[in-house]
Amino acid sequence: MKRTHRWGRVYLLFVFAIMYTPIGYLMYYSFNSGGTMHDFQSFTLKWYGEVLSDDRLLIIVLNTLVVALLSAAVATILGVIGALAIYYVKRQRMKNTLLALNNVLIVSPDVIIGASFLLLFTLAGIKLGFASVLLSHIAFSVPIVVLMVLPKLEEMSPTWIDAARDLGAGSRQVLSRVILPFLTPSIWAGFFMALTYSLDDFAVTFFVTGNGFSTLSVEIYSRARQGISLSINALSTLLFLFTMLLVVGYYVFSQKGGRMYGIGGRK
């Protein structure tokens, strides 16, 4: 038994090495003065300087952050409303239908979401750009928030609501004093999840971005198509550190709010 454990550990180490090699590789060469992702010549910070002095790139980073924060905030509000809506539906059939519809955007491949949103915006006459990207990010984040909040809601004992009502609370007070405080950790977890989905999304954005507006993922894609440039490496190092911060935040909240629901839905 002990021996197999040791092999298990070796195996895990191997998997971890594979998982982190590409990320480490990117970071390592971001300090290479040689300009390629092989043959490390000497240590330099010039790629970081290049990233930080690239106004266009900084605007894109800003765009990406604005879209992520706005869409996550709106999606969280809509998602909490959605979870409450599903929670209060009493008929099981109706509930299952709502849940199935909720999950459509989670199981659909990004390409299909992107293509169908492109059709939607074109037919609705919405100009492709900031608005269409923001709307689609809100749209695909809502079901994730619902899925993170709903289990917590189902966990809540209904007697609490009865007790609050018996003590004279109106429906507004029940919501603000009982339900929402109880849901807070899962709402934050949902917000973080929506944030990471938005920051990470490429395919949907790629379809609905049009000309003139770009997010980081789309920009990285178009730069990577032109080949290797170490400023992308520098950028990715900065992004990785930023993501670590986000993950730590998410981890803290999800530890409070229960299990890591919903991850593993997309790429």
What is the number of residues in the chain? 267
Other CB atoms closer than 10 Å to residue 157's CB: what's the count? 9
Q: How many Å apart are CA 50 and CA 41, to the nearest integer?
A: 18
Stretch that binds other proteins, among 40-48, 52-60, 119-127, 182-190 (CB under 8 A): 119-127
Member of 196, 198, 214, 231 binding other proteins (CB under 8 A): 196
Nearer to other proteins, 18 or 167 (CB): 18
* Helices assigned H by DSSP within the chain: 2-29, 46-53, 55-88, 92-107, 110-124, 130-155, 158-166, 171-173, 180-200, 203-208, 216-225, 230-257
**22 scored as a contact of other proteins (CB under 8 A):** yes
Q: Tell me the window of 31-39, 40-48, 49-57, 180-188 that interacts with other proteins (CB under 8 A).
A: 31-39
The answer to whether 46 and 173 have CB atoms below 8 angstroms apart is: no
Q: Which of residues 62-91 bind other proteins (CB under 8 A)?
A: 78, 81-82, 84-86, 88-89
Stretch that binds other proteins, among 48-56, 152-160, 177-185, 243-251 (CB under 8 A): 243-251
CB of 49 to other proteins, least distance (A): 20
**Binds other proteins by CB under 8 A, chosen from 17, 19, 45, 66:** 19
198 binds other proteins (CB under 8 A): no
In the complex with other proteins, the residue whose CB is nearer, 70 or 246, is 246
DSSP-assigned letter for residue 22: H
- Check residue 147 and give left, alpha or beta (phi > 0: left; psi -120 to 50: alpha): alpha
Is 40 a residue that touches other proteins (CB under 8 A)?
A: no
C-alpha torsion sign, points 25, 26, 30, 35: positive
- 139-178 footprint of other proteins as x/- string (CB under 8 A): x--x----------------------------x-------
**SS3 at position 247:** helix
Does 234 participate in binding other proteins (rule CB under 8 A)? no
Provide φ and ψ at 215, rounded to 5°. -110, 170
Cβ at position 16, least distance to other proteins in Å: 7
Residue 46 or 223 having the CB closest to other proteins: 223
